[in-house]
């Protein structure tokens, strides 16, 4: 498609994961959004492989989508195509195999690349970070191709391109970032620091089947039927969030990403082509509350009231004994060691220490059994220490 119109964000209809259709749509999206010259390059592809879930659950980027992008990259003359991720607690290969992504890589001529080692990566102009430990594979790569899944996210409300690049941090080091930046506003600024520091990054987003409800791990699939592409992680997130009915001006890290991308406080709507956002229907899509707004409301209170009000209205992880399969994932990933698993013959119980919990919802994110939900628990007063971090 040599005469394609250029736009900030390519926005195309794609109803299913049929491979020939995907090949054509990926090529069109690349042309519209200005895909870089990758002849002879080593390319690092980063799908979302959150955990070992089958593709039908819409937790991971769909394997057919990953396969189509690998074919496209190879058709553009790349020398090597490395594909990898690093789930928070499970072995990467297990997660890649269960999702079907491992097979898609093998069948299409890519190379599986585990994110095991990290090295310091400079973050020029970061608000929170000066450097961050990212996969050493970044040093080998000339270009990063980011392949997020469009999903809800309990902590961040929406997740897509910027949040997917957080996965360039190998393994449980991600939990340490939650501990360092426990509030949604601080954590969001840290995410933007990382996302905007990844050089030569191009994003194709899988919005064919999105995730609604309790994302990013426990929601349900939603047939949205779109593929997006962009050189800008901030612009593609802005457009994708609008496509499922969110007002991105109410999601703090999306605003931060756009402001830093534009270098000013003014946010211009990204241009899309061939579709416009209002043409994308999202009827019945189950959205989540705007989490950063709660943080701002609590911050406006005096210190003496903030802790008590936070105990009453903050969202908390809630465990459900009857559903727990005793896998221990939540205990392993919790950055503050706030969880304890009591294994019994008839049932397993997860105990949550509210004095330690920073409400990062990593436990909710990794639970494979929907045994940890998120909600209000006003009777669970946190009794936090006096020198609390702000609820950002």
Which chain residues interact with ligand SF4 by CB under 6 A? 317, 319, 324-330, 334-336, 338-339, 341, 348, 350, 352, 357-363, 366-367, 369, 371-372
Nearest-approach distance from CB 212 to ligand SF4, in angstroms = 21
Which CB sits closer to ligand SF4, 221 or 326? 326
Q: Which of 82, 59, 58, 74 is nearest to 26 (CA)?
A: 74
Which CB sits closer to ligand SF4, 192 or 363? 363
Give CA–CA dist 142/318, Å, rounded. 44
Q: Which of 192, 289, 252 is nearest to 392 (CA)?
A: 252
Which CB sits closer to ligand SF4, 132 or 155? 155
Nearest-approach distance from CB 157 to ligand SF4, in angstroms = 16
Nearest-approach distance from CB 187 to ligand SF4, in angstroms = 11
CA angle 214, 163, 370 (to 5 degrees): 20
Which CB sits closer to ligand SF4, 23 or 354? 354
Query: Residue 201 forms beta bridges with which residues?
Result: 144
Which CB sits closer to ligand SF4, 34 or 328? 328
Q: Which of 96, 122, 110, 125 is nearest to 42 (CA)?
A: 110
Nearest-approach distance from CB 349 to ligand SF4, in angstroms = 9
Of all helices (H) and strands (E), which one includes residue 343?
A: strand 339-343
Which CB sits closer to ligand SF4, 40 or 289? 289
Neighbour-count burial for 68-83, b at 16+ CB within 10 Å, e otherwise: bbbbbbbebebebbbb
Residue by residue, DSSP assigns 11-29 as: EEE--S--HHHHHHHHHHH
Give CA–CA dist 209/37, Å, rounded. 29
Contact (CB, 8 A) for 193 and 35: no
Nearest-approach distance from CB 374 to ligand SF4, in angstroms = 8
User: What count of other Cβ atoms lies within 10 Å of the Cβ of residue 37?
Assistant: 9
Which CB sits closer to ligand SF4, 197 or 348? 348
Give CA–CA dist 392/195, Å, rounded. 20
Give CA–CA dist 361/175, Å, rounded. 11
Nearest-approach distance from CB 322 to ligand SF4, in angstroms = 11
Nearest-approach distance from CB 307 to ligand SF4, in angstroms = 16
Give CA–CA dist 299/71, Å, rounded. 49
Nearest-approach distance from CB 382 to ligand SF4, in angstroms = 11
Q: Which of 87, 132, 70, 21 is nearest to 329 (CA)?
A: 87
Backbone torsions φ then ψ of 92, nearest 5 degrees? -60, -40
Nearest-approach distance from CB 241 to ligand SF4, in angstroms = 23
Which CB sits closer to ligand SF4, 232 or 359? 359
Which CB sits closer to ligand SF4, 81 or 352? 352
Q: Which of 139, 140, 76 is nearest to 109 (CA)?
A: 76
Which CB sits closer to ligand SF4, 144 or 366? 366
Strand pairing class (118-122; 131-135): antiparallel
Nearest-approach distance from CB 378 to ligand SF4, in angstroms = 17
């Amino acid at each position: 498609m040599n005469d394609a119109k250029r736009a900030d964000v390519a926005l195309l209809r794609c109803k299913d994961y049929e491979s020939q259709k995907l090949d054509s749509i990926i090529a069109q999206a690349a042309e519209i959004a200005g895909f870089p010259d990758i002849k002879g390059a080593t390319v690092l592809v980063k799908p979302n492989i959150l955990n070992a879930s089958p593709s039908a659950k819409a937790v991971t980027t769909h394997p057919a989508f990953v396969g189509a992008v690998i074919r496209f990259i190879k058709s553009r003359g790349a020398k090597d195509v490395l594909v990898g991720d690093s789930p928070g607690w499970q072995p990467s290969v297990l997660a890649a195999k269960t999702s079907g992504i491992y097979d898609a890589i093998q069948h299409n001529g890519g190379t599986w690349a585990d994110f095991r080692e990290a090295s310091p990566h400079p973050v020029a102009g970061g608000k929170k970070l000066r450097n961050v430990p990212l996969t050493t594979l970044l040093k080998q790569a000339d270009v990063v191709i980011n392949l997020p899944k469009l999903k809800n996210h309990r902590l961040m409300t929406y997740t897509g391109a910027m949040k997917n690049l957080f996965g360039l941090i190998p393994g449980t080091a991600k939990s340490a970032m939650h501990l360092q930046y426990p509030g949604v506003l601080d954590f969001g600024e840290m995410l933007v620091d990382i996302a905007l520091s990844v050089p030569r990054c191009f994003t194709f987003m899988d919005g064919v089947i999105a995730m609604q409800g309790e994302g990013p791990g426990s929601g349900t699939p939603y047939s949205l039927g779109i593929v997006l592409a962009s050189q800008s992680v901030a612009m593609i997130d802005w457009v994708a969030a609008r496509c499922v009915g969110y007002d991105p001006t109410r999601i703090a890290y999306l605003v931060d990403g756009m402001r830093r991308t534009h270098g000013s406080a003014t946010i211009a709507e990204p241009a899309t082509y061939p579709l416009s956002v209002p043409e994308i229907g999202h009827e019945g899509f189950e959205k989540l509350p705007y989490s950063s707004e709660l943080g701002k409301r609590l911050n406006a209170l005096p210190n003496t009231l903030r802790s008590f009000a936070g105990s009453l209205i903050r969202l908390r992880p809630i465990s459900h004994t009857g559903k727990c399969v005793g896998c221990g994932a939540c205990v392993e990933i919790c950055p503050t060691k706030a969880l304890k698993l009591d294994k019994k013959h008839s049932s397993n119980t997860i105990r949550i220490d509210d004095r330690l919990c920073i409400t990062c919802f990593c436990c909710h994110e990794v639970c494979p059994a929907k045994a940890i939900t998120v909600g209000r628990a006003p009777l669970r007063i946190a009794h936090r220490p006096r020198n609390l971090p702000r609820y950002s």
